[in-house]
Amino acid sequence: MPAVVLVGAQWGDEGKGKNVDVLSSKARWVVRFQGGNNAGHTLVVGGKKTVLHVLPSGVLREDVRNAIGSGVVVDPAVLGEELDALAAQGCVVGPDRLRIDRSAVAILPLHCALDRARERAKGDAKIGTTGRGIGPAYEDRAARRAVLLADLVDAGRLERKLSAWLDEKGPLLRAHGEEVPPLAELVATCRGHGERLEPFLDDVGARLAEALDAGERVLFEGAQGALLDVAHGTVPYVTSSHTTAGAACIGTGIGPTRIDRVVGVVKAYTTRVGAGPFPTELNDALGEHLRTTGAEFGATTGRPRRCGWLDLFALAYTVRLNGISQILLNKLDVLTGMSEVALCVGYERDGERLRDFPHLAEDLTGVTPIYDWMPGWREDVRAARTLEELPENARAYIDRIASVLGVQIATISVGPGREETIALRGPWP
Ligand code: IMP
């Protein structure tokens, strides 16, 4: 039962799409288990770029089955558009290659309106959400009033739920100056989505249990990153789902004993999009250099990402949260050309070194990073396919990461293409 969970170990945008794409060549299933279309997973195949927001990153491989678990919040309109866009490129993803859990929460246009209205109302204190309705949709699940995908195919149930939703949230939306569509219009739109999605709906946990019993390889594809976890991240500057590895079980319907390994995706430096503390942020020319060289602009919103040095103190925390034993290190090529590179190995406050990573935003603000400075490298690394082909200083940088975190490095990515990868060991057990 080879099941591997892949999670982002930073604030998202670690380059997970490429890793999932590479790992899925040996997988039978690729499964999304949390988040929604706030994610943007970029795949570059044969020089062509595809950005996926809802669909699992296995969809570009014809022999891979894909699943969306019950822990995902699904915007049916966006899902439909994504399927259409792929079909237009000749990649038809039918029900034989995509199963979607009946109990996943549907994101309604009203959720997006509420998300944006709340951000507007917060002014300077805003989180910087993607505005995709993620938070309001998860709130509905916790409040036991969510419209589930299964409801989209049952007219009576759908009307009852939408009507209750409008009774409760309509006045709030209007108070924020948002337009609220009439119930009949909402029901008709949702029914249209339901008809389209019905052939894909399934019990994803049951399908995955069968696959694991049959010895098929299942890759769980995390979205966002561990530091955006709703409970363990830099609260309140987080997303609304659990982005850590435990969510792979809860968000699909299989038990923890079925997971064999957790791998963490780490970018060779750090980025963050949206608001919130970021101790190793570089608000200078170096930060700008990382942003331009690394093309650090949001795949979902186009926003410029904040950039900074690699934070091993934060990573040690997320290695612990997720039970990560292997790291997939990405974008090493972006660091080429720097005379020195820094690794943050701890934080200080008032002259005292902190013992634990202070993940609550109030506690994280105002810490001073402690850096290990190392010599950089100027040689181009994009053609390297083995560790030996990397400059000595780049190898020393990687060794230091592995030894501080106590993990193995499984792959090193030296460029965006599938083939621009140094594979050291296979994450598949
Ligand atoms: P939300 O997930 O849209 O509610 O946004 C909450 C926070 O998570 C914001 O700071 C977003 O920028 C951040 N966020 C959400 N999804 C991603 C992602 O896929 N990558 C990086 N940051 C994300």
Q: Are 224 and 8 in contact (CB under 8 A)?
A: yes
Kindly report, residue by residue over 366-417, the tens digit of the pLDDT.
999 999 999 999 999 999 999 999 999 999 999 999 999 999 999 999 998 8
Q: Name the nearest CA neighbour of 114 among 128, 130, 135.
A: 135
- Given the DSSP bridges, would you call strands 3-8 and 261-267 parallel, antiparallel or unpaired? parallel
Cβ contact 332:384 at 8 Å = no
Mutate to test the pocket of ligand 1, among 273, 281, 305, 307 (most ligand atoms within 8 A of CB): 273
pLDDT tens for each residue of the chain, 429 residues long: 599 999 999 999 999 988 998 899 999 999 999 999 999 888 888 788 889 999 999 999 999 999 999 999 999 999 999 999 999 999 999 999 999 999 999 999 999 999 999 999 999 889 889 999 999 999 999 999 999 999 999 999 999 999 999 999 999 999 999 999 999 999 999 999 999 999 999 999 999 999 999 999 999 999 999 999 999 999 999 999 999 999 999 999 999 999 999 999 999 999 999 999 999 999 999 999 999 999 999 877 889 999 999 999 999 999 999 999 999 999 999 999 999 999 999 999 999 999 999 999 999 999 999 999 999 999 999 999 999 999 999 999 999 999 999 999 999 999 988 899 999 998 887
Going by alpha carbons, the residue nearest to atom 8 of ligand 1 is 239
- Most informative mutation of 34, 119, 224 for ligand 1 (most atoms within 8 A of CB): 224
- Encode pLDDT of 265-314 as tens digits: 999 999 999 999 999 999 999 999 999 999 999 877 889 999 999 999 99
What is the C-alpha R_g of the chain?
Answer: 22
Per the listing, tokens 């987080």 go with 238
Atom of ligand 1 nearest to the CA of 129: 5
Report helix angle 134-142 to 109-122, nearest 10: 110
Catalogue the active-site residues: 13, 41
Residue of the CA atom closest to atom 19 of ligand 1: 39
Nearby residues of 156 by Cβ (< 8 Å), 6 or more positions away? none
To the nearest 10 degrees (0 to 180), the angle between helices 76-88 and 183-197 is 40
Is any ligand 1 atom within 6 A of the Cβ of residue 299? no
Estimate to the nearest angstrom the gap between the alpha carbon of 365 and the chain centroid.
24
Instruction: Tell me, in angstroms, the distance from the centre of ligand 1 to residue 41's CA.
Output: 13
Q: To test ligand 1's pocket by mutation, which of 228, 230, 240 has the most ligand atoms within 8 angstroms of CB?
A: 228
Spacing, Cα 129 to ligand 1 middle (Å): 6
271 with 396: CB under 8 angstroms?
A: no
End-to-end CA gap in the chain: 10
